[in-house]
């Protein structure tokens, strides 16, 4: 390992120290559930908002009552809340690793150190110690089961007490959790994690692939990612240093996942460029580069999934710009949010630790607005991009979905990646069928779908009929009388064509005309996961 910024042990020494740390964390029950039980739901919610005072007050009030949870409380104060603790308590909480081992690993530094990361290797003669790295538990449930890991990253603003450094390595945040939930849970021979950061996406990818290549432009990020993989006993991850696709030139993968540094940042002197979020390009050019270059690194049938921002310039539609970047790839692009440029600037200036009301905040705000004005940008979109390289001999119509889903998603517990995978499979199956074959299908309504009917008081007939999807994207589909009748009859017994014939007779309309109207709608409901195809 390099000696840079507190990560100092040799590879052999790290291999010796990390199992000891894992043993101590397991012994103390340093898990998400245990911490929430330790300080309660209110304090846990405050921590999610970046406020640690409620958790500290709970720990102070219960200090004499900790008993068996004393070591858990010590680890929580050190690594989650970022407080100093007596060296003796740290020794007790880390009996296998010890304070000296934690210092060698770069986890601890003397209390009061001006630079806890840089001073992590200083001899710990002080009576108290503090964290030099962020270490916290992480849990996640995917299609395979429940994950319990620990994640190392750089100290956040809360522990540092000041703005983040430009080489900061981010831990697990909202964006990374979003992407991991989007991953298709289907087997893949080789996966590329482009811009791995702390390694969380690569770790998730090992759940369905035996070989993952993780790249990053930051050597420090690669070292921390390597520690996380080893700490959690994960095999099959290969780390490579370099920018974007440079480390994998000429290679192809079955799956690409990326939470790229997509934040749109002014390229002027005096504006910090954080490696974990800023790709060094103007505007949304980095996301464009990833989308355009993905085709050259996907195997036929391979899928790339990434998060991104895109600009709405003057009269240009941001989503249409992303569609253009996708070129000849199959694509499913979902815009989840759109922000005015003022909101966007405020969000990311604050993210770096610069507080509103300060001269630095105002200076950065001016720089952001000047940058947007120079390109005529009025809004910024954020969302998910799924790309697929067509198979060598395409047998179905291209997948080309472009949609805005700015509201709440479905509320079931399944990760969205499960829904994506099911919808992709359903699309491919129905797209390969002619209308006569679709008419011969015996479909069923998904179990999470409900129907609503709204009436004016006293009216016999509904004024509005809606299908509501409980999971997935939580879609709401408007129905006319014919489609409502068709969906209501889809119980797996009758073919679609027979249902259409019966509805046509009921409504006294031409059967072929009704079929021409309803079959495209049926295909759309299959694509959305609302109507289910029979098992193959």
How far is 76 from 136, CA to CA, in rounded Å? 8
Section 35-55 average pLDDT:
89
How far is 443 from 121, CA to CA, in rounded Å? 65
How far is 22 from 368, CA to CA, in rounded Å? 43
pLDDT of amino acid 62: 74
Name the band, by pLDDT with cuts 50, 70 and 90, for residue 431.
Answer: very high
- CATH code that applies to domain 426-532: 1.10.10
Say which DSSP state 80 is in. I
Across the chain, mean pLDDT equals 90
Q: What is the dihedral of CA 153, 23, 10, 226, to 10 degrees?
A: -40
**Do residues 29 and 79 lie in contact, with contact meaning Cβ atoms separated by under 8 Å?**
no
pLDDT at 4 over 50: no
Long-range contacts formed by 169-172: CB under 8 A, 24+ apart = 169/197, 169/198, 169/218, 169/220, 169/221, 169/224, 169/275, 169/276, 170/197, 170/198, 170/276, 170/277, 171/134, 171/136, 171/198, 172/138, 172/198, 172/200
Name the band, by pLDDT with cuts 50, 70 and 90, for residue 363.
Answer: very high
301-312 confidence digits (pLDDT tens) = 999 999 999 999
pLDDT of amino acid 393: 66
Section 225-249 average pLDDT:
95
pLDDT of amino acid 518: 97
pLDDT of amino acid 235: 94
pLDDT at 114 over 60: no
| Residue percentage of the chain with pLDDT more than 90 | 74
Listed residue (357, 360, 4) closest to 163, CA to CA: 360
Half-sphere exposure of 464 (CA within 13 A, CB side): 9
pLDDT of amino acid 352: 82
393-410 confidence digits (pLDDT tens) = 656 678 999 999 998 888
pLDDT of amino acid 66: 64
Name the band, by pLDDT with cuts 50, 70 and 90, for residue 126.
Answer: low
**Do residues 141 and 413 lie in contact, with contact meaning Cβ atoms separated by under 8 Å?**
yes
Name the band, by pLDDT with cuts 50, 70 and 90, for residue 68.
Answer: low
| Residue percentage of the chain with pLDDT more than 70 | 93
Section 326-332 average pLDDT:
95
pLDDT at 115 over 70: no
486-528 confidence digits (pLDDT tens) = 999 999 999 999 999 999 999 999 999 999 999 999 999 999 9
pLDDT of amino acid 2: 33
Name the band, by pLDDT with cuts 50, 70 and 90, for residue 5.
Answer: very low
**Do residues 495 and 440 lie in contact, with contact meaning Cβ atoms separated by under 8 Å?**
yes
pLDDT of amino acid 530: 97
More confident residue, 123 or 393: 393
Section 456-478 average pLDDT:
91
pLDDT at 449 over 70: yes
332-348 confidence digits (pLDDT tens) = 999 999 999 999 999 99
The gap between the terminal CA atoms of the chain, to the nearest Å, is 51
Say which DSSP state 491 is in. B
How far is 201 from 207, CA to CA, in rounded Å? 10
pLDDT of amino acid 409: 87
Tokens of 529: 């996961």
Average the pLDDT over each of 74-88, 121-135, 267-281, 284-298 and give the range with the smallest value. 121-135
Output the CA–CA distances (angstroms, integers) from residue 167 to 152, 200, 229, 486, in the order listed. Answer: 15, 18, 20, 57
Name the band, by pLDDT with cuts 50, 70 and 90, for residue 276.
Answer: confident
Section 474-479 average pLDDT:
94
pLDDT of amino acid 125: 61
Average the pLDDT over each of 118-132, 333-347, 468-482 and give the range with the smallest value. 118-132
149-204 confidence digits (pLDDT tens) = 999 999 877 677 677 778 889 889 889 999 999 999 999 999 999 999 999 999 99
Half-sphere exposure of 134 (CA within 13 A, CB side): 22
**Do residues 136 and 150 lie in contact, with contact meaning Cβ atoms separated by under 8 Å?**
yes
Section 418-427 average pLDDT:
95
The full 3-state SS of 138-198, as one line of letters, equals EEEECCCCEEEEEEEECCCHHHHCCCCCCCCCCCCCHHHHHHHHHCCCCCCCEEEEECCCC
79 contact partners, CB below 8 Å, separation of at least 6: 131, 133, 134, 135, 136
Domain positions in the chain are 11-112+126-137, 275-406, 426-532
Tokens of 67: 């008993």
Name the band, by pLDDT with cuts 50, 70 and 90, for residue 354.
Answer: confident
Section 265-271 average pLDDT:
92
Q: What is the pTM of this model?
A: 0.90
């Amino acid at each position: 390992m390099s000696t840079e910024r507190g990560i100092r042990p040799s590879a052999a020494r790290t291999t010796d120290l990390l199992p000891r740390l894992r043993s101590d964390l397991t012994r103390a029950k340093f898990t998400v559930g245990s911490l929430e039980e330790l300080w309660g739901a209110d304090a846990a919610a405050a921590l999610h908002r970046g406020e640690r005072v409620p958790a500290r007050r709970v720990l102070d009030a219960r200090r004499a009552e900790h008993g068996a949870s004393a070591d858990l409380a010590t680890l929580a104060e050190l690594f989650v809340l970022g407080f100093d603790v007596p060296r003796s308590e740290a020794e007790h909480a880390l009996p296998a690793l010890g304070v000296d081992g934690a210092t060698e690993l770069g986890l601890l530094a003397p209390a009061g150190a001006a630079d806890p990361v840089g001073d992590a290797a200083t001899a710990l003669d002080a009576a108290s110690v503090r964290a030099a790295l962020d270490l916290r538990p992480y849990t996640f449930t995917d299609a395979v089961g429940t994950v319990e890991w620990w994640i190392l990253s750089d100290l956040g603003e809360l522990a540092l007490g000041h703005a983040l450094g430009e080489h900061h390595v981010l831990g697990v945040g909202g964006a990374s959790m979003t992407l991991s939930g989007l991953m298709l849970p289907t087997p893949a021979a080789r996966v590329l994690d482009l811009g791995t950061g702390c390694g969380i996406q690569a770790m998730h990818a090992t759940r369905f692939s035996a070989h993952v290549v993780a790249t990053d432009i930051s050597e420090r990020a690669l070292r921390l990612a390597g520690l996380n993989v080893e700490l959690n006993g994960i095999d099959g991850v290969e780390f490579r240093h370099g920018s974007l696709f440079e480390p994998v030139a000429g290679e192809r993968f079955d799956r690409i996942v990326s939470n790229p540094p997509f934040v749109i940042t002014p390229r002027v002197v005096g504006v910090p460029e954080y490696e974990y979020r800023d790709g060094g390009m103007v505007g949304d050019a980095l996301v464009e580069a990833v989308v355009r270059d993905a085709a050259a690194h996907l195997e036929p049938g391979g899928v790339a999934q990434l998060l991104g921002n895109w600009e709405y310039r003057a009269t240009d539609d941001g989503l249409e710009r992303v569609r253009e970047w996708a070129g000849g790839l199959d694509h499913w692009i979902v815009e989840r949010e759109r922000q005015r440029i003022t909101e966007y600037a405020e969000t990311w200036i604050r993210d770096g630790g610069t507080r509103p009301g300060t001269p630095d905040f105002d200076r950065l705000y001016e720089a952001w607005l000047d940058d947007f004005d120079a390109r005529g940008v009025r809004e910024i979109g954020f969302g998910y991009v799924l790309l697929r390289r067509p198979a060598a001999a395409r047998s179905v119509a291209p997948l080309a979905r472009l949609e805005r889903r700015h509201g709440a998603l479905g509320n079931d517990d399944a990760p969205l990646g499960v829904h994506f995978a099911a919808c992709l499979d359903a699309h491919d199956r129905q797209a390969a069928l002619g209308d006569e074959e679709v008419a011969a299908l015996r479909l069923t309504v998904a179990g999470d779908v409900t129907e609503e009917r709204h009436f004016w008081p006293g009216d016999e007939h509904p004024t509005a009929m809606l299908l509501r999807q409980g999971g997935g994207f939580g879609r709401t589909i408007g129905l006319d009388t014919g489609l409502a009748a068709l969906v209501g009859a889809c119980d797996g017994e009758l073919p679609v064509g027979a249902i259409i014939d019966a509805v046509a007779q009921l409504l006294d309309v031409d059967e072929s005309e009704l079929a021409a109207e309803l079959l495209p709608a049926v295909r759309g409901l299959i694509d959305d996961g609302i109507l289910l195809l029979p098992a193959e």
